Amino acid sequence: MADFGDLIGGAYRIRGLLGEGGTARVYLAKHEKNGKLHAIKEIPAKKAERAGMLAEIRLKEKLYHPALPHVWEAFEEKGAIYIVMDYVEGMDLGTFLRKHGAVSQEQAVEWMKQLCKALTYLHGFQPPVIYRDMKPSNIVLQKDGRIKLIDFGAICQKDRRGGTALALGTPGYAAPEQYGNRPRSDVRTDVYGLGMTFYFMLTGQDPGKPPHQIRRIREWNPRLSPVLERIVCKCTRKQPWRRFQTCADLLKALDDYTNT
């Protein structure tokens, strides 16, 4: 476990703790030579987990997109694996919405478009990369108005049968197929998480709070667009085949709404 002031990887000086959960901790660190700030994730290097963990790190190192933090390197030191990533400064969307409430339809649509483009990029890999944990607290609002997705601890690539087989996600935002005796995930799982995130943006009501049930958005605010209500409803259908089938399809619906 690293402490304030420690030098790790021969180049990164620990400046503070950004967060922790489960077995992982995330530190703020400064590169000794170029002065750049990084977020460094520390994970105990347990032998039983190491092979799969390094495979995930190699996957993350391939990602280059404006809405995704880049993974620069990974190394093992003193019984832990350290993943060096971009440090993303700003407030997470969940905190913002709980503090300020619903945002304008125009702002919500703009953020959704950015998210759709980021997920379309991930889904464009072969096999597709599934994010699996779309929620406001994993989205950071930057000072320039753009957003970034963070916390890639749940990403994976579809298996050869066309889905993932691990129950993982956040109640209220995770799609129904992520649970049960045979959990599965595919690109439509991310569409569901986007829909629930859009719901929070438009209504100020957090579906992550028990009992994890939602109402039509115009029941909260009748002034909201019926078109956006239909988009949210289609994203959050329980059956995957009734949703938008890709994030590109969702993006087109949002573009059509903007251009009307």
pLDDT in tens, 171-198: 999 999 988 777 788 999 999 999 999 9
pTM for the model: 0.86
Output the average pLDDT for the chain. Answer: 88
Rounded CA gap, 114 and 48, in Å?
Answer: 37
Please compute the mean of the pLDDT values over residues 84-89 and round it to a whole number.
91
Please compute the mean of the pLDDT values over residues 116-144 and round it to a whole number.
92
Angle at alpha carbon of residue 244, lines to 241 and 246, rounded to 5°: 100
Using DSSP, state whether 238 is helix, strand or coil. Answer: coil
CA distances from 115 to 21, 49, 213 (A): 24, 30, 23
Q: How confident is the model at residue 155 (pLDDT cuts 50, 70, 90)?
A: low
pLDDT in tens, 206-219: 999 988 889 999 99
Nearest to 187 by CA among 226, 229, 158: 158
Q: What is the pLDDT of residue 145?
A: 87
Q: Is the pLDDT of residue 164 over 50?
A: no
Using a 10 angstrom Cβ sphere, with 0-12 exposed, 13-18 middle and 19 or more buried, the burial of residue 211 is: exposed
Q: Is the pLDDT of residue 133 over 80?
A: yes
Q: How far is CA 110 from the centre of its chain?
A: 17
